[in-house]
């Protein structure tokens, strides 16, 4: 209705209804995982609300909301949480915090064992965006984060959220320094200056493990985004 009438007030109300419904559903339907969700109030971007992307997502969220299969696995919960968090940022939000049940949080050593990697490698993944709480406790990694890391798509999306949060709390120069350092590691590993040079014969769908491809690509795009936000990309 709101799209046909091009009515921003009505569209905001419809969007707020779906968003609030999702927020309430996540907060109440997953008691084994969540204690609660905190968000900072924000204003919707009118230009984004009238985009075709938002229109499609709004309808998809409505379908997804009524097709929730409960109880959800850690993987399914994680995917829902990631998609909702990304949507929150797209709508214009800049602070969302998930509080988890203590029994749902793993120690780094437990997460490393579940993934079959060393704790050194795990800390590298945390630095890249693996969800890890700064809660002063040994239990700090949500179980879904371990599962999502096994998924090439949602593992990358989880990292994107980690990068987004860093940008919101870091000075641009600090974040750029981290990105350049990480890209340099890929350049040395693959003997190439750019992600396109390193993976010229492939794309993400053709690789057995596309993690490096997507990670390097996302880092490159993040540089462009930071420079644009700071006026350096003009």
pLDDT tens digits for 119-154?
Answer: 988 988 998 889 999 888 899 999 999 999 999 899
Q: Which domain holds residue 189?
A: 170-234
156 lies in a domain? Answer: no
Q: What is the pLDDT of residue 155?
A: 92
Whether the per-residue pLDDT at 209 is higher than 70: the answer is: no
Evaluate whether residue 198 is within a structural domain. Answer: yes
| The pair of three-digit structure tokens given for residue 151, joined into one six-digit string | 């998924």
User: Is residue 114 domain-resident?
Assistant: no
Domain assignment present for residue 11? The answer is no
In a domain, 90, yes or no: no
The predicted-structure confidence for 33-64, as pLDDT tens digits, reads as follows 999 999 998 888 777 888 888 888 888 998 88
Contact by Cβ (8 Å): 30, 72: yes
Alpha helices in 30-142 (DSSP H): 46-49, 52-66, 74-91, 108-115, 119-128
Note whether residue 50 is domain-resident: no
* Domain presence at residue 87: no
Q: In angstroms, rounded to a whole number, what is the distance separating the alpha carbons of residues 226 and 175?
A: 9
> Please, are residues 72 and 84 in contact by the beta-carbon 8 Å criterion?
no
- Global pTM reads 0.77
Which position has the higher pLDDT, 63 or 99? 99
> Does the pLDDT value for residue 202 go beyond 70?
yes
Cis peptide bond N-terminal to 39, omega within 30: no
Q: What total of structural domains would you count in the chain?
A: 1
pLDDT band of residue 190 (cuts 50, 70, 90) is very high
Residue 79 has pLDDT above 90, yes or no: yes
In-domain check, residue 64: no
């Amino acid at each position: 209705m709101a799209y046909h009438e091009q009515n921003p007030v009505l569209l905001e109300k419809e969007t707020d209804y779906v968003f609030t419904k999702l927020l309430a559903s996540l907060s109440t339907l997953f008691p084994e995982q969540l204690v609660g969700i905190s968000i900072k109030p924000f204003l919707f971007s009118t230009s984004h609300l009238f985009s075709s992307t938002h229109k499609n997502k709004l309808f998809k969220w409505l379908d997804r909301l009524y097709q929730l299969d409960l109880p959800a696995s850690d993987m399914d919960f994680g995917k829902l949480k990631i998609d909702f968090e990304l949507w929150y940022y797209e709508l214009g939000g800049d602070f969302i915090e998930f509080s988890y049940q203590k029994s749902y949080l793993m120690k780094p050593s437990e997460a490393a064992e579940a993934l079959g990697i060393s704790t050194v490698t795990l800390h590298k993944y945390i630095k890249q965006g693996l969800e890890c709480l700064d809660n002063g406790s040994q239990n700090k990694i949500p179980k879904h984060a371990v599962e999502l890391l096994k998924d090439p798509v949602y593992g990358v999306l989880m990292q994107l959220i980690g990068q987004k949060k860093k940008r919101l709390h870091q000075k641009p120069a600090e974040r750029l320094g981290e990105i350049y350092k990480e890209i340099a590691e890929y350049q040395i590993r693959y003997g190439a200056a750019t992600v396109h040079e390193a993976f010229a014969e492939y794309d993400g769908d053709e690789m057995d493990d596309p993690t490096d491809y997507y990670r390097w690509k996302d880092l490159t795009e993040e540089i462009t985004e930071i420079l644009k936000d700071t006026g350096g990309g003009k």
